[in-house]
Structure 1
């Protein structure tokens, strides 16, 4: 009786939607087809995502040797530029990846069906059975077809929107640089104003290249090709790292040299990606109606709401730290860069989850979608635990790489425990984002962040910062990431929206 009750209980648990987070845990370390597909996409995507934060960390290390004032000034300027870019980047890249993956998957399926029908018409019954039992033969001809240049309307739409947004962003940042710096706590009499203004205005000239390159990365991700963006990004960042010490120290251009080297590297990345993309895709649409501008703008606006909410939270945190002084801001800048660099490693898993899930949902292959969701979340948790150890130990011993200022190092010791401890939470938050985007669940992602998180986090941040200062701000950021994870668990656990199939799967 007890054994029967246990079996019955197990069956009931497996029918619960939330069980998708725990199913097949033994397979997470097995080298099966699903793990291989995830690794093929996630590893190059992770390396590509690591490249830019690492380059920013190297920039921070070079600038840190100019002094705490320059480091704090550039930290504020980078915070403004990054947050402004994220307002356009994440909606653009996320929507592009999902739409290209759906379009590519639909075209691939249509090509396979057409190939089967064509070959069946010219074969005997026995040969038809043999043909259907060997899908890899069909896939080979399909792959040959896709090696040719083809028109992908979502790719053309992404590049058009990315270019326009880049020009608008550059214009707005340049004309509003001083008001933005003032909002971030750098007043007219501050020593940080001059280097921060120079760096921000020069970095803004690279905005068109940044958004175009990110749009093209979204296209390649949709094709499940993350190697090409990796090569381009590494090439650009290597050039940036080489130019940094030359322009900063040899030519004595200081923060101006750092900004110029970064802008040059972004344009190089954009040119390389465009050259590779036009070899595969015909970017000129035959008709203006082929552009999916309405669909892009609708879903992009939803994600824009989410990104603005998240951006406002992080920017407000940086602004509150800047008001504490240049020393606290310098320490916060280093901790934040490490926090984001380590956490974004999980975004490689998110990219894999999004690209694969978008195809699964387009084909209505809910079994594969369920397996993919379970696997990528489990891998995200494991990655977060590993990162927690690496960051905690590494940053404790290597903090001197970024600055030699004793006061900055002392304040950093207050932030390091939060940077390390939140890595599992951050990893799951990023993976949940990728899963929701792969399911095209943009509306829930937007409203869950913009309403519940924004109101709760802002109050929490203001209260904690006023009472506990630097530490209180890091506590608030930890709560912010925890709420993002809770939203993902709630959506899947309630089997609502696109996850309603979990009630019957």
Structure 2
């Protein structure tokens, strides 16, 4: 690869990945704000919110295909110069997002209390979890619309507007929570309400942006059936992959809850930091989805882009790991004053730091495969990785009582995903034209 070509690709990756990091980190930033504020209220409130957040994760992550699928579909049409068709994909995605978000909100509200109990919540912790949960589901339709909106903008290779929306809504959420929780003296429910309001504001902004694009291209607001069907086909494999991942996260959280309340609270802090880093890794995944799909849609090869994405993933992952390792001793104090919880969180953060290089490169491969339309590889890889996770967790919890077994199983999961991604891109059936 020539130096000029490498620099050109690096500029494209930066232009998409850097703003996407902040935009994609919106949800974990919401949760980090909730975790930090509720940690000041008490350990029970923090543990309750942790359980509720894990239940909500099924709604937040199960429909991530709305973003991934929309990005790839829009980027392919945009790369081929078919802007009207790209806009039709955006309209279809928003309608689909509103529908599935509403259904998911009703379903999660219906199973909320039993789910909290299954995750190990009881007493005051279970009550706080339910309060946080039923208020939070009111924002789920807004969240899915935002996912579709982000996917549409990313497909157009525009991540600056999502960055601005993310920054504004996160700031709004923080202000609302500080006023409601500390200023007005409300509790867990007020924390959830601030997040709900911020999500609906974000959804309104994305609908306005799409409306402007609809006017410019002359596309109808009626959802195109073919576009909806294509979104559902793409979503089928992505939903399976995501549900498996959510099952893994839920099982890990349940295992942590059974160790003890201090361990669960410490795990919750470290897990939120880990998820924040994961969403940051999604910035490079976003670049992979958009750039690979755009090049393949325009009839060009993607080998050079894939090579640079892998390099970026490894380097940024190492940097992230070093930063987290250096901050593991003081980060927990931002969330809680409880010495026992801080100790558990610090121990967990060492695991988080060590996993960063693997996490970043694994997510880079996810983006490459989605951009190439190889979602089936992701589902198959996740199924295999889930099996590895279950075996390690089962043996670990039998052999030891601490959180080490939980983090070891998550590490095994990510290593398995990375290996599967490498193998998938080297398959003879690959569309990446190496």
Could you say which TM-score interval applies, normalised by the shorter chain?
over 0.9
Q: Which residue in the other structure is 2:227 paired with?
A: 292
RMSD (Å) for aligned C-alpha atoms: 2.0
Instruction: Name the SS of the counterpart of 1:192 in structure 2.
Output: helix
**Residues 184 and 31 (structure 1), Cα distance of their counterparts in 2 relative to 1, 3 Å cut:** same
Given the alignment, which residue of 481, 484, 489 partners 2:422?
489
Given the alignment, which residue of 45, 53, 58 partners 1:83?
58
2:421 matched to 1:456?
no
Trace 1:5-154 onto structure 2 (pairs within 5 A): 24=1, 32-88=7-63, 90-107=64-81, 152-154=87-89
Which string of whole-angstrom CA distances, capped at 9 and with x for unpartnered residues, describes residues 43-74 of structure 1? 11112123432332222111101111110110
Trace 1:374-393 onto structure 2 (pairs within 5 A): 374-393=307-326
**Residues 289 and 214 (structure 1), Cα distance of their counterparts in 2 relative to 1, 3 Å cut:** closer
**Larger-gyration structure (1/2):** 1
Indicate conservation of the 8 Å contact 2:92/2:228, yes or no: yes
Query: Which runs of at least 4 in structure 1 moved beyond 6 Å after TM superposition?
Result: none
Q: Which runs of 5 or more residues in structure 1 are unaligned?
A: 1-23, 109-145
The alpha-carbon deviation at position 27 of structure 1 amounts to 5.3
Q: Which residue in the other structure is 1:304 paired with?
A: 239
**Residues 311 and 288 (structure 1), Cα distance of their counterparts in 2 relative to 1, 3 Å cut:** closer
Q: Which residue in the other structure is 1:351 paired with?
A: 286
Indicate conservation of the 8 Å contact 1:344/1:427, yes or no: no
Q: Which residue in the other structure is 1:238 paired with?
A: 171
Normalised to the residue count of structure 1, the TM-score between the two structures is 0.82
Trace 1:269-348 onto structure 2 (pairs within 5 A): 269-282=202-215, 285=220, 289=224, 291-348=226-283
Q: Which residue in the other structure is 1:249 paired with?
A: 182
Trace 1:207-222 onto structure 2 (pairs within 5 A): 207-222=140-155
Which string of whole-angstrom CA distances, capped at 9 and with x for unpartnered residues, describes residues 16-51 of structure 1? xxxxxxxx5x959x9821111111111111121234
Indicate conservation of the 8 Å contact 1:228/1:273, yes or no: no
Tell me which moved more, 46-55 or 370-379: 46-55
Which string of whole-angstrom CA distances, capped at 9 and with x for unpartnered residues, describes residues 314-360 of structure 1? 11100111122221110011000111112322211111111011011
Q: Which runs of 5 or more residues in structure 2 are unaligned?
A: none
- Give me the whole-angstrom Cα distance separating, in 2, the residues matched to 1:301 and 1:339: 27
Indicate conservation of the 8 Å contact 1:285/1:291, yes or no: no
- Give me the whole-angstrom Cα distance separating, in 2, the residues matched to 1:320 and 1:488: 28
Indicate conservation of the 8 Å contact 1:156/1:291, yes or no: no
Instruction: Name the SS of the counterpart of 1:364 in structure 2.
Output: coil
Indicate conservation of the 8 Å contact 2:101/2:140, yes or no: yes
Normalised to the residue count of structure 2, the TM-score between the two structures is 0.95
- Give me the whole-angstrom Cα distance separating, in 2, the residues matched to 1:197 and 1:288: 36
**Residues 287 and 326 (structure 1), Cα distance of their counterparts in 2 relative to 1, 3 Å cut:** closer
Instruction: Name the SS of the counterpart of 1:404 in structure 2.
Output: coil
